[in-house]
Structure 1
């Protein structure tokens, strides 16, 4: 009997069992978009080539069942990756009579490449990698005939041409109202990616469950018990007391979220002032909406890893009383590179949990990254509530692709999306046409709550950004005056270097301030934030001195702290408004808090384009305000000011929203949106150089994935020796058990920081950076490279970077 794999303890999984199991799983996943037969057929055929006798000899030799002296022995090292078991299934599909060409192209692609990542239909040089791969002359003469004939009979029954074509016909009806051809093609490209995700997750899930179902529990087969989670949240909400108007309006916002949850699925907007309780309000909406629409998951997509742990911890605490805390998955980032190793196969988390907290980086990589690790997760986003917290942080280059992805998830994959922030970007504005989102006015969740903005007006803006030659010393003077008057002060900078310089200057004149940046691991930041909150409470009770803190932007989004005054280095209006949310947060002070906006000459941002461009627009918005309101003080927490800012900012940068790239390998300028839609430049080149006709689909999936970066600079996760991080490092260096390593790496996420290439090179040079084991791809920092105040500390190579 042909086998699919051997386990370490010698158990065999029969090939036909694996193929049927993967087909059933992939079918179930693909039914979310109405293409269950596509999932089933790709699952049946993905490992069809394993019936080849050579592949069976290879597997038996690799497992040790065949010995070196046996006639059928095949050197497993020399033949690893050499016997193509993916293409035969694609060739079978290519030769199915009566099947529409578009369906063949979709299914042959995902079947042929299920191990290595999607490849191009047409590359920028005009070559056609998929067509070339399908030109292989692969005989099935070497297959085990009796088994193959039996399986082929089953294939003839289950590869139902009529059903495939009927599903496809019904599916493409959804495109009839999409006028723009590139958008239509982009959405079809996401369909292919979705089906690819269904196949690779089904394949990995079945394989891992067979190998070790006890140690790797990955299946939540039953519909989540949303009602039980709703009860837990409602009980938690009854414990909140109404102390003032802000608390009263937090309750009104939450109640309106519950009320609007009964609306049909779509794109929703939750525009709540900072401190308005949007995390729990949006959770209330999501739970009710998921229950009423029979959805599978709730995703919180958060901009920075720095706030995932806080939000996930808050939600887990709500469910803990009911024993449901394990239903919350917290996914930060990956500490290892994507490699085909046993460890990484286990670590390829597939987001199969009822509630998932992850980052915008991970979300975008599930959609647009290459390989199999991130794309595996894509299909889980179907039939889900997806909450984007602080949506204004979306990178400018990603906007057209992001908007199309949201359209796909809501119109094709049965999901609902909530855009959640105090500073709503104008993603539905006509200046983005034809790429703007279409948001129904009925789906504005917080609309109609009277006087909400006035109630949440808790700060006075003091604009000093126009003062020339402002210096760090001037900022410290404000801090000293506030401190002497008994007020706690938070200063927020644009760069880590500016934060470090301010900390040193303050400590030389006044007191050692608290410091926060992403040079510190999450556990370190959590410890510091805990101390800050404790000291703020003591100060408010007049039991301790005022608190001084200097932080990078990480503190702005979702971090619950409450200072008397905030100083913000000039940035985009959205960042300044978010900073204001850390001042007089609960409105319990007798007077308004103070928000100072300053522009120090020492902070160098020339290479930080997003901040620089945001500052330029902010200066124009401020100027417009003063010109139109000559006798008024600037009040930045104003919906008109925020909308004016985003309208100008997006108008000025629209040319960058399709993710422009220069493809150095091909000497071609293009953009990722076009590469993932019509790919017309590549198609024209293909028509010039090829005698055969090009395929209907032209997607340059692999080329686009190679160019895609969710953030501008790639980073590597590194474990640091902070508190328990030291023990984790020691155990990772010693362990040979992949399951133990997997568990340790999950723990290590709280003790890791992300480093740029230049930092990694510098740390290796100074012998501060090491690998846990040879070729493990897991790195750790020695104690000499980590500081209790600043985290990563490079004296001879100061950082001036903007990353979270």
Structure 2
């Protein structure tokens, strides 16, 4: 055992002692858990969770109690901004002792076996000397979390590369015993004394005996696999999230009492939305549809108040009938009911399918809060997606350095607007950075807008997860859509707050016209364009929206129409993000006739209104969303949504969804009235649920993997967005601002040596950078030889391959999807 002076202090980071680091981690994670509601009868007792949390904190850096962490000592010496710390006598003495009599020895040992520098694993085993349970899985969860707190939370007993995770192999025992030989148990015990914890070298023999028996662990693993118990999955997620929030919090929060940045959510008034609506529209002359909207809003409000004790709700209303206000109001009602029942104030998390509509929804929420006199919006409201920037103020206080990212990425604000990807891939994941926010999902009111965008193959797994979150933590879910899918097998488990049948039956805004679909099972693009031009000429006063499934077909239609009709507008994911928002603004504000060609990016939540909509064949959910861009306010007689088929849907949509849509539409005549859509959608949802249940291998696999703590397998199976291997990410220096941002980015990479500082700076500039990033298909674009392996390419002669109006220029007829 290594023996040093009792007056020395162990170092955790170049600017703090290990004692200070662990104290701060303890304060942060204790505060977080203290603010949680836990159903101890259904989940685990709070005192058990508190004990496990405490042990994770004080043993996660146990391996830093030896000179094998000499890189930290070296970094402490070399740092230029920590003179006060490194000049402390206890730190100077520790460093001098190492340099004088230990450096050469430890550098040689580490050169011989670099595993000796791993500080996490030793603490994972020694924590077991302070925790005994009749359930060995609880012990192993502590071990696993500590082992993996600097990486991904891979499979429990054996990772995907077949490396053992719990069992002690001879090779591991050899290097762990070398670490133990040099571990300063006495100096570490000085830290543990104040926590009524202890650690002794002689505990190793028992730990080794218990965890080097393969036969014993096989029995435990077999028992786990037979239990079909998902509670372990949530326990591991919760504790891992607490430790990560504490560990990163100590480094990212720049203040003395770091736990003070963790605040209780504030309760919103139940009349907030109603008062806002009344004030905003007091001068408006109500239209017929406004009266219907208000009636629907009041019905949703009444039912939400009556059923607030339940866990799952749906607001199923036709597009344009005010679902957003109803959803906000429902969330606030549920927040108040939750607080009254559990004495904890849950955060409200608004989840949307696409980043393109987050800003729009966040703007509405911000306006509501501002007009309602809610102060400190930077504290209350945050948006979290890959293009967003972090709030730099909190309670009117300017935040320091990494604090904005800590709060935003950890979902510490009262109200959060985010994406399905951020939400669901923060549960079905093994990734460290995604799991940090999990504890803030536990006591929350979730609004899932356009919930039909969740792939049906995941319905069963999501149902299990949502129901357990509600059972264990009281989490509540509000599903919002015009076409409520059967997300749960038993629809009665979800309380409907609206009366969708009534409101669909009463509407006459649109006609769904499938005459082209019935006449041409598949239509060639040139033939379709010819028919389209004739329609546009015949309806010279009408506005048109044409929605295609692929970039290529949309570009061809745009060019052909532009040649004949002059200035028209174009939207697709190939358009740079900042210019895409400008086009949407033009569509909203432009008076008179408009012709817009788009891909499906225009569907969900983009608040535009045109007279005639053409929609390339797609699943019924998407068709409904397209219909929502047609005659939204019912002031233009009957709008028309015309279906056609260029045979491109197979490239981007699920084949079961497409086949069920075809089957259901065949039952209906050429013209389908809006009043018929409720029954049509219901038939479709039933058919999809049945079709997916018959071959739902993905959900079955995911549920089993969660029960067996195969988190790595969960993450690999659950993908809302598949990794894009078909395209290059390309930065386009289209103006002076873009060039300036790129130069800042290049300077950061060239001039920043510290890897953590580099990550921090890139994270800060990334939202601005990505406003000028698009994608070029790999099968159509040959990049400069010196840039082929870059994550983001810089193309100076971008005009050769890219048009600011329509995106990537393709020179052949091959279909491509961006």
TM-score between the two structures when normalised by the length of structure 1: 0.79
Where do residues 470-549 of structure 1 align in structure 2 (5 Å cutoff)?
Answer: 470-476=523-529, 477-485=531-539, 486-535=541-590, 538-539=591-592, 546-549=593-596
Partner of 2:467: 407
Stretch moving more, 55-64 or 561-570: 55-64
Partner of 1:272: 317
2:766 to 727, 745, 749: 745
Partner of 1:573: 620
Higher normalized helix content (fraction of residues): 2
Is the 1:190–1:405 contact (alpha carbons within 8 Å) kept by the matching residues of 2? no
Partner of 2:397: none
CA distance in 2, matches of 1:717, 1:362: 21
Stretch moving more, 93-102 or 352-361: 93-102
CA distance in 1, matches of 2:469, 2:142: 21
1:298 counterpart SS class: strand
CA distance in 1, matches of 2:622, 2:226: 33
CA distance in 1, matches of 2:664, 2:517: 13
Is the 1:584–1:592 contact (alpha carbons within 8 Å) kept by the matching residues of 2? yes
Deviation at 1:503, TM superposition (A): 0.8
Partner of 2:148: 113
Partner of 1:37: 50
Partner of 2:598: 551
Partner of 2:265: 224
Deviation at 1:596, TM superposition (A): 0.7
2:326 to 247, 265, 281: 281
CA distance in 1, matches of 2:287, 2:131: 72
Partner of 2:498: 446
Partner of 1:690: none
1:598 to 644, 652, 659: 644
> What do residues 432-467 of structure 1 show as CA deviations (whole Å, max 9, x unaligned)?
xxxxx7624xx21113x7842234331012112122
The reply to whether residue 58 of structure 1 matches residue 68 of structure 2 is: no
1:311 to 361, 368, 384: 361
Deviation at 1:509, TM superposition (A): 2.6
2:338 to 277, 293, 298: 293
The reply to whether residue 20 of structure 1 matches residue 26 of structure 2 is: yes
Distance 1:607 1:471, change over 3 A: closer
Partner of 2:431: 371
Is the 1:490–1:567 contact (alpha carbons within 8 Å) kept by the matching residues of 2? yes
Is the 2:242–2:439 contact (alpha carbons within 8 Å) kept by the matching residues of 1? yes
RMSD of Structure 2 on Structure 1 (CA):
3.8
1:130 counterpart SS class: coil
Partner of 1:684: none
2:182 to 129, 142, 145: 142
CA distance in 2, matches of 1:399, 1:753: 32
CA distance in 2, matches of 1:219, 1:781: 46
1:247 counterpart SS class: helix
Distance 1:319 1:278, change over 3 A: same
Partner of 1:709: 719
Deviation at 1:755, TM superposition (A): 6.9
Stretch moving more, 481-490 or 30-39: 30-39
1:424 to 463, 484, 489: 484
Is the 1:492–1:568 contact (alpha carbons within 8 Å) kept by the matching residues of 2? yes
Is the 1:479–1:489 contact (alpha carbons within 8 Å) kept by the matching residues of 2? no
The reply to whether residue 620 of structure 1 matches residue 641 of structure 2 is: no
CA distance in 2, matches of 1:45, 1:203: 11
The reply to whether residue 91 of structure 1 matches residue 125 of structure 2 is: yes
Partner of 2:213: none
Q: Structure 1: give runs of 5+ residues left out of the alignment.
A: 160-179, 337-341, 431-436, 540-545, 661-669, 678-697, 772-776
TM-score between the two structures when normalised by the length of structure 2: 0.78
CA distance in 1, matches of 2:225, 2:498: 34
Number of positions where the alignment pairs a residue of Structure 1 with one of Structure 2: 712
Distance 1:41 1:251, change over 3 A: same
Rg (Cα) greater in structure: 2
Is the 1:86–1:113 contact (alpha carbons within 8 Å) kept by the matching residues of 2? yes
Is the 1:301–1:357 contact (alpha carbons within 8 Å) kept by the matching residues of 2? yes
